[in-house]
Structure 1
Amino acid sequence: MPENVPVLTIDGPSGAGKGTVSRIVAGRLGWHYLDSGALYRAVGVAASWANLDVSDAAALVRCTFDTRVRFADDSGKGLRVLVNEVDATEELRLETTGAVASAIAAFPEVRSALKERQRAFRQPPGLVADGRDMGTVIFPDARFKVFLTASAEERADRRYKQLKDKGVSVTIDGLLREILARDARDAQRTVAPLRPADDAVLIDTTGLDIEQVVERVLAIVAP
């Protein structure tokens, strides 16, 4: 049955709009939603809580198997992510958590440990999977594949506005450096590097608002 369930993969670099677009599209289609990045961030948070050495692959794999992750849709607060039953939603959104997640995602052992957990989200009536290797590694047979991108400058500006709205003190230059460094790590890693699937539809979101991107993605699924 799972192999017959339609999947829409939405991959792309940090700040391209994957998360927001994927959640809206999943809601419009009435499909399940997988935030694969949240799984890696959850392992990163759990590793930080346990004071693990993030260069110790064996310890991270154990942490991956021991970490319980649950998504809870709170109508008042939006999607919440519970790590070992602790609401870690806000901590998962921090730039430092994203950097840790990117670092541990470079370990083949960690990616392998999380692969089947991600594939288990494929349930009827369909799945929208958001990440960096959804269309290339996790769901290579997906019926629909999209790769979102945007200029590094626009992605830094979007992140700056998000964090400023939350009262977080950041600078555009600092965020741009972090985004460029993360892009380089994700693209150059030997396992599942960030790249569009050969059959993915590329959408540059620079200068587009969320609704415009959502409509373009929906047109791919239901032309």
Structure 2
Amino acid sequence: MANQTTEPIPLIAIDGPAASGKSTVGRLLAEQLNYLYLDTGCMYRAVTWATLQQEFDVEDETAVIQLAQEIEIEIFPVRDGEADGRHYTVLVAGQDITWQLRTPAVDANVSQVSSYLGVRQEMVKRQRAFGERGAVVMVGRDIGTVVMPDAPLKLYITASAEERARRRTRDRQAQGHTASYDDILADVLRRDQIDSNREHSPLRPAADAILIDSTDQPPAAIVNAILQMLKEPVNGN
């Protein structure tokens, strides 16, 4: 006999390449659902920032993995007095590094750092602890395939490389960084190559993920479509 349920989904997994719009969609969706928004990419960025800050060679896999295992990373929702445009606060060893996570230097090295198995294993362990609490929108590159493969709703958000480069260029300029569209497009394509072909947890949609192309869609429209999706009863036997 078929049953229908509209019980809240405890975890929504959102994956996709750099600048696909997945973080914006995830954040807005979490706000609408009153869920925790966890951008797992900021954890890899935090490790990358610490690696560069300590002047380690990002090619030194052993040193980077050890740092990832030892580093203290805390992630908080936006708090009073932090109305500077941030969507969360990231502390490393108690230091607020939220805005340092989006610098060109971190952009250029995060794919290398996150390609190391030991780094990914440590971050995945921390991410799963968040996911097991429930009421989470978790965003990254391997949430539906590796971190939370049993997530009841998996989304894969993408966009053309050119559109993603335009978005990243606008973001860089808004943050006061010099930004060349051609250079950023080349970096987007390079990161796609690394992320999609790395040995451990390559970027790819889960087999049961819903694919969403955000190239010509504003984030609000995508969020509304997802919310409508969540209202539809799930049939089961």
Please indicate the TM-score interval, normalised by the length of the shorter structure.
over 0.9
1:108-151 CA deviation, whole Å, 9 max, x = no partner?
Answer: 11111211101011254511110000000000000000000000
Alpha carbons 2:65, 2:116 under 8 Å: kept: no
Aligned to 2:79: 74
Q: Within 5 A, what are the aligned runs for 1:113-128?
A: 113-128=122-137
In 1, Cα distance between the equivalents of 2:191 and 2:129? 27
Q: Paired residue for 2:28?
A: 24
Indicate the residue corresponding to 2:94 in structure 1.
85
For residue 141 of structure 1, give the secondary structure of its aligned residue in structure 2: coil
User: Any unmatched runs of 5+ in structure 2?
Assistant: 1-7, 233-237
> C-alpha deviations, 1:60-94, integer Å up to 9, x for none?
12111221111231351332211111111111012
Contact 1:9 1:142 in 2 (8 A): yes
Corresponding residue for 1:140?
149
Rounded to whole Å, the distance in 1 between the matches of 2:164 and 2:139 is: 17
Task: Report deviation, 1:99.
Answer: 2.6
Identity of aligned residues (%): 38
Matching of residue 222 in structure 1 with residue 225 in structure 2: no
Residue identity opposite 1:129 in structure 2: M
SS in 2 for 1:120: helix
In structure 1, the gaps of 5 or more residues are none
Give the structure 2 partner of residue 65 of structure 1. 69
- Matches of residues 68-217 of structure 1 in structure 2 within 5 Å? 68-72=72-76, 73-75=78-80, 76-77=83-84, 78=86, 79-217=88-226
TM-score between both structures, scaled by the size of structure 2:
0.88
Distance 2:70 2:183 in 1: 34
Q: Aligned partners of 1:168, 1:220: CA distance in 2, in Å?
A: 38
- Contact 1:54–1:104 (Cα < 8 Å) also in 2: yes
Q: What TM-score do the two structures reach when normalised by structure 1?
A: 0.93
Q: Counterpart amino acid of 1:196?
A: P
Q: How far apart, CA to CA, are the structure 1 residues paired with 2:222 and 2:209?
A: 15
Any conservation in 2 of the 1:186–1:194 contact (CA below 8 Å)?
yes
Instruction: Provide the rounded CA distance (Å) in 2 between the counterparts of 1:7 and 1:98.
Output: 28
Match of 2:4 in 1: none
Counterpart residue number, 1:12: 16
Higher alpha-carbon deviation: 64-73 or 188-197: 64-73
Deviation at 1:167, TM superposition (A): 2.1
| Structure 2 Cα separation of the partners of residues 87 and 98 of structure 1 | 18
**Deviation sequence 1:151-177 (CA, Å, 0-9, x none):** 011111111112222222111111100
Distance in 1 of aligned mates of 2:132 and 2:147:
14
The aligned counterpart of 1:39 is: 43
AA in 1 matched with 2:136: L
Structure number with larger C-alpha Rg: 2
Contact 2:9/2:153, CA 8 A, preserved across alignment? no
- What secondary structure, in the 3-state scheme, does the structure 1 residue paired with 2:89 have? strand
Q: CA RMSD in A?
A: 1.6
How many aligned residue pairs are there? 220
